[in-house]
């Protein structure tokens, strides 16, 4: 049974909602002592997105005074049910009307009437974001009643009100899955397997179902076909050419990642039911411009396909009816960064299965949209082997979608758009799947409605039909992708698909190299050759989780004059998944000539996570000196010697976590304010006896007999208030800082938003990040006319060469660094007494990668500065320090700034007042610039 609200709960919920709109309570709702009889209805399922009429009949057993009859719905008079009138108010036109008054039927005592349930929101499309947060309150079971007040009789029927007929709450998914399993067991011998990939942030299961003809088909694919495809694709290609492939199946993965785009979940449930239980499925499509019916024989389909249903990547979002997960992250921007547990679990399974076809179900844009995309395309795709088939499959899905819904057209961005809907970033689930050789489609239904659901369901059928009719050709192309990787081939056939904004083919950016891909990536892990062994090892862990082959040297290997010691990690690029590895490890491309881009494109784990990585282009450089690895152990720190104190280098984020843990536990932590001997400015000094208790943290330690001659500051645990993005708050939690809800309780306020209250700064520090914070401080006038900034457009991004000045806030960083921004901003002047922390390089090649039209204006400009005021401190960064939790190499700039807030330089200032404050209101930079392009749901 479906888990729905009981009539009482539905009544209470609706009553509470209507109470907010000052709607009176019905005097007839207290009818619990009435005699209950049956109310017959012609339907029991009502919709928020379709107007429906309900014919009702009841026999009260005699003459009835019609003036004493009253209809109730959910215990309320019909007059109290009003349509939405905006915001959270429901006081518009009637939602339910009596269109045929009660009357006797053919001289009997049976009474008949007709009700019309109109559109509660006066529209059949509930994709409006305000409505999206409200409509689910009305979903549930209700008591529909016709009450005779004279005879004290009540004719009742339970009816269901839903947004469209097939909607499921998250709590209903597993019971529905279980019921399908039970029915299938009784009716057929198809193979069904349920898995939970793990738990969401809030502990909910990530439901996943495998549907195949039998278990042997699954085992053969995972244990024989796929391993051979990845290791020796040429052998399978030969079998396909010779017609000797025999019986084989390919995976079709159906996905949803934005759970408030609800059809993507429910269409999957229906597709799962149909393919698990039915013998045949008939639907309409288009052939030769004419609509026609086609029938899928399910057993024949399962001879070709293994279905994989990932009902939603974001269970918490399905419960909360939000796009983001419980940490505030849009998971469809995290498939490459993988900072969230949900994306880590799902992408690992995508890598495991390597599906041939991948459908990611979304909503809601202006048209019925099915990818492939506009350029620019990510150069790590073998686009010539993907594009043609993706276009054909998009047409197959679109034809089915419009033939089984009221839509009469669909859009394919690659054919219908010029730019602004690209696949340059592998952030999106479908684009991530393309790096595994999948035909990856994002599908957008234009409406949250029954119609939108019908179209989405049909796309799944159209995609299935296309795969079954073209399986050999599709699989051949996927094998060709793997073959290119295994053979290290950079085929020039891809070049025509990589174009500039003028439409000219520019191919992959190879520079002076013959091959776009290197022969190897080398990831040192020894401290002498690696600035961050922890992040380097985490990268290896990431690659393994994503299906990339990684090896480790068994002895010292010397390549191009560099000696790599035993234990160095090697990523050989002659492998099937080389495109995925390169997409995460290469520097990136400059696509600033394009007028519109959908989302930031720089991935570059090495520079944004902050570890050393070498590119090797010598063939067989590591031949016979490596072994394959299948797991890694993350390094931890060790106490050095028996000295009473340890010096911890300020070189990695785990050390920051450790410092915060020590401070929470009341341990003494000092910070070096100068460089002297083996102590560097910004290093942490702790007691050896305290440190030995923390075995699970990574740190780089050296012994210190005494630090009496070194200038230090004793740290206390900072209390941090965050204003702005949920991602910034997440990053600070990851660093172990103690977050407080009120700026009044904070030692430091950290913000990447436009909120800035100069009057709350007394005795505190403020760390502002990005263009909105720059603008808020500028408008406050607290820094006077000496401070100004400029920007092109928020959302412009770039990986920049930067010059970092020697300062306690930049401790742990080198003089020349690569820093990242998605703010399109720079600082043009700083106050007289300010200290500049970092500037953009003035070199011609300062801009490394990204999309930033007009970036040349930032050359040589200031990126960050700090300014002490009489009783507070303001530090401003034009670049990003915690963008989507990926720019972890910049976290320590944030940590240094926070720890300085409880050091003597600020703490001694006390609680005075900030002089010459201005009460001028902030004139926010319009966020519409940031939310650029179409809303790729």
Say yes or no: 663 and 762 in one domain.
no
Q: What's the pLDDT tens digit per position in 638-654?
A: 999 989 999 999 999 99
What is the rounded distance in angstroms from the CA atom of residue 401 to the CA atom of residue 416? 17
Q: What is the pLDDT of residues 402-436, one digit of tens each?
A: 999 999 999 999 999 999 999 999 999 999 999 99
Residue 17 scores a pLDDT above 60: no
Once rounded to an integer, what is the mean pLDDT over residues 208-221? 98
What is the predicted pLDDT for the residue at 394?
98
Query: Which letter does DSSP use for residue 680 in this model?
Result: P
What H or E segment, with its residue span, contains residue 46? strand 45-47
> Shortest CA distance to 552 belongs to which of 637, 634, 632, 635?
632
Put simply, whether the predicted model's pTM sits higher than 0.85 gets the answer: yes
Whether residue 922 has pLDDT greater than 50: no
- Asked if the structure places residue 31 within a domain, the reply is yes
Domain stop point among 487, 504, 528: 487
On whether both 131 and 204 belong to a single domain, the answer is no
Query: Is residue 496 in some structural domain?
Result: no
pLDDT of residue 107: 85
pLDDT in tens, 283-326: 999 999 999 999 999 999 999 999 999 999 999 999 999 999 99
- Reply yes or no on whether the pLDDT at 720 is more than 60: yes
Based on the fold, state whether residues 277 and 422 are members of the same structural domain. yes
Instruction: Establish if 401 belongs to a structural domain.
Output: yes
Q: What does the pLDDT read at residue 678?
A: 86
The answer to whether residue 774 scores a pLDDT higher than 90 is: yes
Q: For residue 257, is it within any domain? A: yes
Element (H, E) at 15: helix 7-19
- CA atoms of 524 and 532, how far apart (whole Å): 9
* 618 lies in the same domain as 682: no
What does DSSP say about strands 357-363 and 250-255: parallel, antiparallel, or unpaired?
parallel
Pick the range with the lowest mean pLDDT from 140-144, 427-431, 695-699, 916-920: 916-920
pLDDT band of 31, cuts 50, 70, 90 = low
Same domain, 467 and 425: yes
227 part of a folded domain: no
What's the pLDDT at 13? 39
- Whether 172 is covered by a domain: the verdict is no
Cα end-to-end span (Å), the chain: 32
pLDDT at 836 over 70: yes
Query: Does residue 684 form part of some domain?
Result: yes
Distance, in Å, from the CA atom of 128 to the CA atom of 243, rounded to the nearest integer, reads 52
State both tokens at 546.
């994503």
Q: Are residues 850 and 734 in the same domain?
A: yes
500-528 per-position pLDDT tens digit = 999 999 999 999 999 999 999 999 999 88
Q: Report percent pLDDT > 70 for the chain.
A: 93
Q: Going by DSSP bridges, is the β-strand pair 645-648/701-704 parallel, antiparallel, or unpaired?
A: antiparallel
Residues 444 and 320 in one domain: yes
Q: Are residues 366 and 405 in the same domain?
A: yes
CB burial class (10 A; 0-12, 13-18, 19+) of residue 499? middle
Residue-level pLDDT at 532: 97
pLDDT, position 709: 81
Distance separating alpha carbons of residues 375 and 424, to the nearest angstrom: 8
Beta pairing, strands 205-212 & 191-199: antiparallel
Give the mean model confidence (pLDDT) for residues 237-265. 97
Cα(544)–Cα(629) distance, integer angstroms? 9
Identify the CATH number of the domain in which residue 409 sits.
3.40.630.10
Q: Is the alpha carbon torsion for 729, 731, 735, 736 positive or negative?
A: positive
Residue 298 sits in which domain range? Answer: 186-208+251-487
Using alpha carbons only, what angle is made at residue 410 by residues 407 and 414, rounded to the nearest 5 degrees? 170
Cα–Cα distance measured from residue 658 to residue 356, given in angstroms and rounded to the nearest whole number: 44
SS3 sequence of 906-920: HHCCCCCCCCCCCCC
Secondary structure (3-state) at 212: strand
Q: Is residue 79 part of a domain?
A: yes
**Mean pLDDT within 258-277:** 98
pLDDT, residue 902, reads 82
- Pick 15 or 505 by higher pLDDT: 505
pLDDT per residue as tens digits for the range 569-612: 999 999 999 999 999 999 999 999 999 999 999 999 999 999 99
Looking up tokens 């049909």 gives 458
Rounded Cα–Cα distance for residues 333 and 603 (Å): 11
Residue 385 shares a structural domain with residue 483: yes
* Residues 305 and 433 placed together within one structural domain of the fold: yes
The number of domains in the chain is 5
Q: What is the CATH number of the domain that holds 32?
A: 2.60.40
Backbone angles phi, psi at 444, to 5 degrees: -120, 115
Name the nearest CA neighbour of 896 among 841, 828, 837.
Answer: 837
Q: Inform me whether the pLDDT recorded for 632 exceeds 50.
A: yes
Token pair of 91 as six digits: 């006081």
Decide if pLDDT at 914 tops 60: no
Residue 556 confidence (pLDDT) above 90: yes
Which two tokens mark 679? 């102590």
CB 817 within 8 A of CB 532: no
Cα three-residue angle 367-369-373, rounded to 5 degrees: 130
**360-397 pLDDT, tens digit each:** 999 999 899 999 999 999 999 999 999 999 999 999 99
CATH code for the domain of 799: 3.40.50.880
Name the residue with tokens 């920049």.
800
- The 10s digit of each residue's pLDDT in 447-463 is 999 999 999 999 999 99
Q: How far apart are CA 641 and CA 387, in angstroms?
A: 60
- The reported pLDDT for the residue numbered 21 is 37
Upstream peptide bond of 376 is cis (omega within 30 degrees of 0): yes
Mean pLDDT rounded to a whole number for the chain: 93
Average pLDDT over residues 867-890: 96
Helix (H, G, I), strand (E, B) or coil at 621: coil
Bridge partners, 873 (sequence order): 765, 868
pLDDT at 8 over 70: no
Residue 760 pLDDT class (50, 70, 90 cuts): confident
81 phi-psi bin (left φ>0, alpha ψ -120 to 50, beta other):
beta
Residue 852: is its pLDDT beyond 60?
yes
Closest CA to 605 of 849, 271, 416, 860: 849
Helix (H) or strand (E) holding 558: strand 557-559
Distance, CA of 284 to CA of 799 (rounded, Å): 49
CA distance 294 to 637: 64
Instruction: Note whether 117 and 138 are same-domain residues.
Output: yes
Instruction: Kindly state whether residues 898 and 776 are assigned to the same domain.
Output: yes
Query: 85 burial class (0-12, 13-18, 19+ CB within 10 angstroms)?
Result: middle
> Cβ(28)–Cβ(80) under 8 Å?
no
């Amino acid at each position: 049974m479906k888990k729905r609200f009981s009539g009482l709960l539905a009544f209470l919920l609706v009553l509470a909602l209507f109470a907010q709109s000052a709607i009176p309570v019905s005097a007839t709702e207290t009818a619990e002592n009435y005699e209950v009889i049956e109310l017959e209805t012609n339907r029991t399922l009502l919709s928020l997105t379709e107007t429906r009429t309900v014919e009702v009949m009841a026999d009260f057993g005699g003459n009835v005074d019609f003036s004493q009859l009253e209809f109730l719905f959910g215990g309320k008079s019909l007059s109290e049910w009003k349509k939405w009138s905006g915001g959270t108010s429901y006081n518009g036109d009637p939602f339910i009307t009596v269109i045929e008054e009660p009357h006797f039927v053919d001289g009997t005592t049976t009474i008949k009437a007709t009700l019309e349930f109109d559109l509660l929101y006066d529209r059949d499309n509930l994709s409006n974001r305000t409505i999206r947060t409200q409509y689910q309150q009305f979903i549930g079971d209700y008591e529909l009643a016709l009450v005779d007040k004279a005879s004290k009789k009540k004719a009742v029927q339970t009816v269901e009100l839903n947004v469209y007929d097939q909607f499921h709450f998250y709590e209903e998914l597993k019971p529905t899955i279980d019921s399908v399993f039970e029915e299938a067991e009784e009716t057929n011998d198809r193979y069904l397997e349920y898995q939970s990939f793990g738990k969401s942030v809030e502990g909910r299961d990530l439901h996943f179902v495998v549907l195949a003809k039998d278990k042997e088909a699954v085992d053969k694919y995972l244990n024989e076909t796929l391993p051979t495809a990845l290791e020796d694709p040429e052998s399978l290609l030969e079998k396909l050419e010779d017609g000797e492939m025999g019986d084989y199946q390919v995976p079709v993965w159906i996905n949803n990642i934005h759970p408030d785009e609800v059809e993507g979940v429910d269409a999957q449930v229906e597709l799962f039911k149909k393919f698990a239980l039915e013998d045949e499925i008939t639907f309409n499509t288009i052939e030769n411009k004419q609509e026609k019916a086609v029938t899928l024989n399910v057993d024949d389909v399962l001879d070709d396909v293994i279905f994989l249903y990932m009902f939603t990547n974001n269970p918490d979002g399905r419960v909360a009816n939000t796009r983001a997960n419980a940490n505030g992250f849009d998971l469809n921007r995290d498939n490459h960064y993988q900072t969230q547990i949900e994306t880590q679990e799902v992408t690992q399974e995508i890598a495991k299965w390597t599906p041939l076809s991948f459908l990611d179900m979304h909503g809601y844009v202006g048209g019925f949209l099915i990818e492939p995309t506009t350029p620019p395309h990510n150069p790590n795709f073998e686009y010539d082997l993907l594009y043609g088939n993706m276009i054909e499959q998009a047409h197959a899905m679109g034809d089915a979608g419009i033939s089984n819904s009221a839509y009469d057209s669909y859009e394919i961005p690659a054919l219908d758009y010029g730019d602004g809907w690209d696949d340059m970033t592998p952030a999106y689930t479908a684009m991530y799947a393309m790096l595994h050789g999948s035909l990856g489609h994002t599908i957008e239904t234009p409406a949250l409605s029954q119609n939108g659901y019908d179209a989405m369901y049909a796309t799944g059928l159209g995609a299935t039909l296309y795969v079954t009719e073209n399986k050999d050709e599709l699989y051949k192309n996927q094998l060709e992708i793997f073959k290119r990787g295994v053979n290290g081939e950079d085929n020039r056939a891809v070049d025509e698909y990589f174009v500039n904004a003028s439409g000219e083919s520019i191919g992959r950016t190879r520079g002076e190299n013959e091959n776009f891909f290197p022969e190897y990536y080398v990831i040192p892990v020894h401290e002498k050759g690696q600035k961050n062994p922890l992040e380097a090892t985490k990268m290896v862990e990431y690659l393994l989780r994503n299906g990339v082959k990684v090896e480790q040297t068994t002895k010292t290997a010397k390549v191009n004059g560099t000696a790599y010691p035993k234990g160095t990690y090697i990523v050989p690029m002659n492998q099937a998944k080389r495109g995925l590895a390169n997409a995460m490890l290469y520097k990136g491309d400059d696509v600033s000539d394009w007028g519109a881009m959908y989302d930031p494109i720089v991935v570059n784990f090495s520079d944004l996570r902050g570890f050393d990585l070498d590119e090797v282009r010598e063939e067989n450089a590591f031949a016979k000196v490596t072994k394959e690895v299948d797991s890694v152990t993350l390094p931890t720190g060790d106490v050095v010697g028996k000295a009473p104190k340890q010096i911890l280098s300020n070189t990695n984020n785990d050390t920051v976590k450790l410092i915060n843990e020590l401070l929470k536990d009341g341990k003494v932590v000092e910070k070096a304010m100068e460089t002297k001997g083996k102590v560097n400015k910004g290093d942490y000094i702790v007691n050896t006896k305290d440190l030995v208790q923390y075995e699970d943290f990574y740190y780089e330690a050296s012994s210190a007999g005494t630090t009496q001659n070194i200038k230090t500051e004793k740290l206390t645990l900072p209390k941090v208030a965050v204003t702005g993005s949920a991602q910034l708050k997440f990053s600070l939690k990851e660093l172990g800082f103690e977050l407080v809800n009120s700026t009044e309780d904070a030692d430091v306020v950290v913000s990447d938003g436009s909120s800035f209250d100069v009057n709350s700064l007394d005795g505190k520090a403020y760390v502002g990040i990005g263009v909105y914070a720059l603008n808020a401080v500028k408008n406050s006038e607290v820094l006077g006319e000496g401070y100004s900034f400029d920007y092109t457009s928020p959302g412009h991004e770039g990986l920049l060469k930067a010059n970092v000045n020697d300062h306690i806030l930049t401790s742990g960083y080198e003089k020349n660094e690569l820093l990242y921004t998605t703010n399109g901003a720079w600082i043009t002047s700083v106050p007289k007494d300010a200290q500049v922390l970092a500037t953009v390089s003035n070199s011609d090649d300062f801009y490394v990668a990204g999309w930033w039209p007009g970036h040349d204006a930032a050359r040589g400009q200031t990126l960050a500065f700090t300014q002490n005021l009489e009783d507070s401190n303001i530090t401003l960064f034009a670049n990003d320090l915690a963008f989507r939790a990926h720019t972890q190499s910049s976290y320590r700039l944030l940590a240094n700034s926070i720890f300085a807030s409880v050091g003597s330089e600020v703490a001694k200032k006390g609680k005075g007042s900030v002089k010459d404050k201005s009460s001028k209101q902030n004139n926010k930079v319009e966020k519409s610039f940031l939310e650029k392009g179409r809303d790729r749901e």
